Structure 1
Amino acid sequence: MSLAASSEAIGAVSELLKVQLAARTGINAVAVGRPEDASKAAVVGGGGSFNLFLYRISIDANLRNRPLDAGQAPPVWLVLHYLLTAFDGPESDSIVAHRLLGRGLLALNALSIVRPDASNSALASNPDPLRLTFDEADVELLSRIMQGSDEKFRVAAAFQVRPVMLASTAQPPDYALPVKSIGKPLPPPQPYEGASVLPSLGARVNAIEPERFSAGQPIVLRGSEFAGYDQILVGASTYPATSTLDGALTMTIPLADTISAGSYPVCVARTLPDGHQLSSNAVAGHLLPRVTSVNLAGPLTPVLGRLSGTFLVHGSQLGGATAATYAALYLQGKAQLLLEPQPGGTATTLTFTVTDTQALAPDPNYRVILRVNGEQALDSPLLSWT
């Protein structure tokens, strides 16, 4: 609750007493002001009424230097002193008025401890409940208050309400500087001010499903505190993420993406209002190359009963010229030959050459096994070496 509204606490206490007194006695005519003014406003035969008169405001000595929190300037703690006068029409000294005064005292006694409702903004921030206690209303006190040519001595009951807080919001507390949020972007060249305040310590990734995946295959990251995170980082590449029904994040690497196969740190991320990227811890993910087809690049050359020549590997995430790539020609339970690609390869096509000194025996069932950056493709299509 904001402390700014506490500046109206004095009037809020008077309003609270007026409403409670009317509700507990059934007398709706409750005025706040000097007793003589209430007497002049009363109508003969108009029924009973009450008057509340705030005649004194003092400082609560027990709370004078008590702050709401360490490092803050203490608020003003008040004690409000009231007189309750009962009227039968304009008269305050009749038997009927005395009976009404008794009803009023019982109503006030029931208010010995008052906890203001949260909807009462002026009093809701008061850290302690309001306490109502009766004071001695002797002849000397009433005579000092009710003096003057227009005043008449009237019997009344005195009581006090404490502690009533008036809190200052003009200065921030000494123990901390105010937090400035980023807010809306400022036009260049004005810099952003302050810090982004997030409702958590950041996202944490616990698992990736599956750990080995290919482009075109959805992956799921599971963890905690994913609210507001809309990106998944695979190494230095960023992909849009979608929330699942169970609170995880999922994404799919497009087949046409030029990212190379390999092992990558995978994490979730979000972009803060100032443009910085906030990411979670990383888990290991293994992006596999995809091999869609293999074929000869031209006629093979006979070499002493064997064949040499060139073949092409087509797919995606093949790495191109910068990746650590090799292909194995597999036949009869073992690798017959290991080859590195020719220069000029791309992420979708690699060229391999079997030289004359490496010539292979003719066979239609050579299987091509490809590894890129330590990750092996799931597909190993057949190559007819004939």
Structure 2
Amino acid sequence: MRRRPGGVRGARSVVRPVRTSADRARLVVEPRRTVTVPSPARVRIGHRPGRGAGELPFEFPLEPSTRPGAACPYHEAGCRPARPRLPAGPNPTHRTTGVAGTRGVDRNGAPCGNRRTRHHRSSGRPHHGFPARQRHPGSTAAVAAESRGVPRETVVSDALALAAVTETLRAVLQEAVQRAVPGAVVTVRHPGGAAAADEEGTTPTLNVFLYRTTVDAAWRNTDPPGTHPGETRHPALPLVLHYLFTGYAPPAEDSTVPERLLGAAMSALHDRPELRADALRAAADFSDLHLQQEPVRVTPAVMTAEEMYCLWAALGHGYRLSVPYEARVVLIDSAVPGRAPLPVLRRGEAGLGPEATATTAEPWPVLHAVLPSVAAPGADIVLSGSGLRAGAPSVRLTHPLLGTPVVLPARADGEAAVRATLGEDHGAGRWSVVVVLTAADGSERTTGPRALHVAPRITSALPLTAARKGNGAVLLSVDCVPAVHPGQQAELVVGDLPVPAEPFARATRTLRFRLAAGTPGRYPLRLRVDGVDSPLADMGAERFDAGAAVVIT
């Protein structure tokens, strides 16, 4: 209950139209009475808000459904009520409560796509909802979207949206400045061209200049409209357009025309900050921006005096009184096609979804370690982990430079390990190794990768001997296995001095090295390929291999 002016207590009524047949409808006025009337018809209801008060009539049009037996999309029985029309006169105080889920009309009487759950204001404030819009059948974005298989409901706008906003602003502001300064025009020139035209002409001018565009961070990763759960579509490009409004007066006049032009423009955008769909379509029918569901709002921007002066200095002209505005947000549809996977028919056994069982075992095979971590060609490696008995095991080796992965047969080595033997021709360096388990039905499960280092081995007779040349240089030739491939980095470490290998164009097992200034003596020798050294020490005996050396004479 709500107290009216003058102490009269009013009441609310819920009016619910229900169709009973193809030609009759029942109008339920809760909590008072039910009336059955012919359809289509206009029903006039008188409600007395209080004793001694006059009757406040209002009307509902009742329309038949679009086809026999069709269900109304807004009600349970095929009728479509419009908004109650309150009587004309000063301060009508009757308030109604609409049925939840019904469609209404906006302040101009046009059907509105907003659902109202309580009452709808009829004041002159901007309408913040968007009506259900029809796609423009011949528009550029609609045709392009259909050609790539995108439904029309997902069209946001095309690349011409920037020009559409500018043209609509010109049309909206033209009407406002005409009322303030008769004969004034709105231009969209560069400020330099507008100033030149101002010096030559006699027409008051308001110039709208787009000087900057930015990307709206809040919309950058938002799914485009029409994206269903589980589908992926490329997000739209969300732009914020930054404008500079500048007023120009004829040079012969000493007046406040620029201030009047800017005041009229600011007042017009304050009263109507949103660019309506009908205005966008009327001013820029070359673009699909009017189909965008998110409204384009034009609001004042914040710019310090220093930033304003720097902008005018960059434009190459003296400062004039200007006002910055921004138009947010302009969504440009992406041309990248999305993906719409098929729906899931069943989740788990009997469609009951996955079943979770508490256990300490790993739900997926896991590779914990590879031993030894540095292996020589032809050596055995042992890969330990958990869940490695879920299928027939094999070992897959991948090298970043050697192309196709190498698959090695593997055999079980206890309950939680498998064993494989490296080949002699596998390249030296750093490898990535995984265990692949193949089930009886052919499906595969793969563990996570672990690192494996394959060490090169010097096959030349050791120790090497080399004689210095007259300039002190020493040339060394080293045979090794496995072959070293182009792109791999090979070095010969003589003592503590690494010597890079001379360039080679194809895989080779013979590398040549040039030591610029050799000193006679015996030095430990290591071959390093991609950071992995050939064996130098016998770790079991904790001593260096005496044969792995070079003797320089």
Establish whether TM, by shorter chain, passes 0.5: no
- TM-score normalised to the size of structure 1? 0.42
Q: Which has the higher contact order (CA 8 A, sep 6+)?
A: 1
